[in-house]
Amino acid sequence: MTVEPWQEPKPTMDQLRRLVARIQSYARTSRIMGYLSTIFLIGLMLQFGILVYSQFLYFLWFPAPIYLPEWFYYVMFITFALSMVIYGLANTVNARLNRYIIEYRRIGVVVQLRCEECNRTSDRVWEKDDFVFKKEGQCACGGTQYVSQMYIMPLPLKDKDKEK
Ligand SMILES: [Zn+2]
């Protein structure tokens, strides 16, 4: 579901924060899936290489074919099945992640409102026709609020960003 910021219902800051948190966790899962599928692919290649060489080396210079134990084939089959499962899961995770990022790009701009009297600030999601110094609403103290800044909600996707 995609919510345009100028349409009802307007997205709230809570929704935006939840979306950012979800993107972070999906990005982490997607990274882990990437590592896992690389590991499984390398494992499969090694096993396939052993299989091919065990059968064909003897044509070249070995006097007799090398027979691999039965469990080798089971292991190979299990590795193959697991890598298919990981591949499917990774696809699902990445599709979700992309959808959330598209939504984030639409609503990920934050407008900060500041009170003229007491300097208290509050945030809300950007709406169409917002501009800096636009007057909007009243503060709890009775003063007029204005748009003091607009910024893109940070999206820390790398672990390095999170430490800052
Ligand atoms: Zn105020």
What is the CA(151)–ligand 1 centre distance, in A?
22
Contacts 24+ apart (CB under 8 A), 52-55: none
Residue 73 CB coordination number (10 Å)? 12
Cross-strand bridge partners of residue 124: 111
In angstroms and rounded to an integer, the radius of gyration of the C-alpha atoms of the chain is 28
Positions of E strands within the chain? 109-115, 121-125, 135-138, 144-152
Entry pTM = 0.78
- Are 93 and 30 a contacting pair, CB within 8 Å? yes
What is the CA(140)–ligand 1 centre distance, in A?
6
What is the CA(111)–ligand 1 centre distance, in A?
17
What is the CA(99)–ligand 1 centre distance, in A?
38
What is the CA(118)–ligand 1 centre distance, in A?
4
pLDDT tens, per residue, the chain with 164 residues? 566 777 778 899 999 999 999 999 999 999 999 999 999 999 999 999 998 888 777 777 667 777 889 999 999 999 999 999 999 999 999 999 999 999 999 899 999 999 999 999 999 999 888 999 999 999 999 999 999 999 999 988 776 655 54
What is the CA(152)–ligand 1 centre distance, in A?
24
What is the CA(34)–ligand 1 centre distance, in A?
49
